[in-house]
Amino acid sequence: MFMSESNTAQALVAHESEIKKEKQTAWDAGSDTLRDLVGQGAEQFFKKEFPDLAHAFVEKTTCACCVDEGMTHKDMEEGDKFALAGSGILYRATNEAERLDKVSDLTIARGVTVITSHGGCGAAGLAYKRDFPGVTPLPAVVDKYAIDWAVKLVEAIERKQHTAEHVYVALEEMNRSEEFHNARAVYFDAVGGFNPSKEIGLPMGFVIEKKFISAECAADELGVVADIALGQHGFGELFSAQNPLVVVVFAPNIEQLVNLKKEVAEILKDDKNFQAGKVKIDGLVVEKK
């Protein structure tokens, strides 16, 4: 039996209402921690709440994953993670061949042997629209596009005489809601190897591997994840000047910390949410163990 248009509309409204409630519950659950982060500042907050944070910065990675907080905070049995938007599908290049060459070099250099793709990948959706302008793809099409990219990347790595395999992570297997992003932070990592899954209780956040990718690609990824977090697919309008999205810069020394915070501000300067005070830039020096 087919649902009438009115019943379909009612079901859609009810579904959206449930998502809104779920989103509010998730927001409330993380609010005390974020108030402490904003109130104390990143340096004091992490030193107090996560004194062993340095051990979350790993030397060896085996698994390329998306910057999505549902992946970066997931404890992968395949090993520690190297984060790239869509496992590199958005990496800046003139064409796919160049992108595969650049990303395969990056992943090989980081020791990666597993390339993941995941359900509901926003980066893959953006890549599809980049490659097929004017087309709005169905979720299944985006999933296939992400998988196809991961398989091509595996093949590119193998052509360079290195071993790799593809692993798919379903949306329900990720460490977040299937319906929305629950990131309250963006970790802009210039120390290298940050794996938030190694510290229980860290604010949920996207990870940008600033140490290992170009400045242009880091800027691209920061723009993408800020749009996701502050838009309808994230907590969106729940962010405010009093409860901002926090960009946490990890730097190896104070000089780089100062410069990187300026760099982040420059990247975000034209963003309306940043201009409205809904994004806070903070950070700390981390001495890698």
pLDDT in tens, 239-280: 999 999 999 999 999 999 999 999 999 999 999 999 999 999
pLDDT computed for residue 288 by the predictor:
83
Bridge partners, residue 263, by sequence: none
CA proximity to 30, closest of 192, 177, 174: 177
Three-point CA angle 83, 46, 67, nearest 5°: 15
Contacts of 57 (CB under 8 A, 6+ apart): 189, 191, 192, 193, 194, 195, 250, 286, 288, 289
pLDDT computed for residue 153 by the predictor:
99
Is the pLDDT at 51 greater than 50? The verdict is: yes
Q: Which of 14-18, 92-96, 180-184 has the lowest mean pLDDT?
A: 14-18
Distance between CA atoms of 149 and 89, rounded to whole angstroms?
7
Distance between CA atoms of 145 and 233, rounded to whole angstroms?
20
Bridge partners, residue 117, by sequence: 168
What number is the average pLDDT over the span 108-116?
98
Indicate the domain borders of the chain: 44-285
Give the three-class secondary structure for 222: helix
Residue 10's pLDDT band (boundaries 50, 70, 90)? confident
Torsion of CA 256, 260, 103, 220, to 10 degrees: -170
Residue 5's pLDDT band (boundaries 50, 70, 90)? low
CA proximity to 121, closest of 195, 77, 64, 160: 64
Is the pLDDT at 221 greater than 50? The verdict is: yes
pLDDT in tens, 162-202: 999 999 999 999 999 999 999 999 999 999 999 999 999 99
Tell me the pLDDT of the chain averaged across its residues.
95
Stated as kind and residue range, the H or E segment containing 116 is strand 114-118
Question: In the chain, what percentage of residues exceed pLDDT 70?
Answer: 96
pLDDT computed for residue 17 by the predictor:
84
Question: In the chain, what percentage of residues exceed pLDDT 90?
Answer: 92
Q: Helices (DSSP H) in 169-276: which residue ranges?
A: 215-230, 254-268, 272-275
Distance between CA atoms of 237 and 239, rounded to whole angstroms?
5
- Per DSSP, the chain holds a count of helices (H) and strands (E) of 9, 8
Residue 4's pLDDT band (boundaries 50, 70, 90)? low
Distance between CA atoms of 238 and 1, rounded to whole angstroms?
39
pLDDT in tens, 118-147: 999 999 999 999 999 999 999 999 999 999
Is the pLDDT at 2 greater than 60? The verdict is: no
Distance between CA atoms of 21 and 27, rounded to whole angstroms?
10
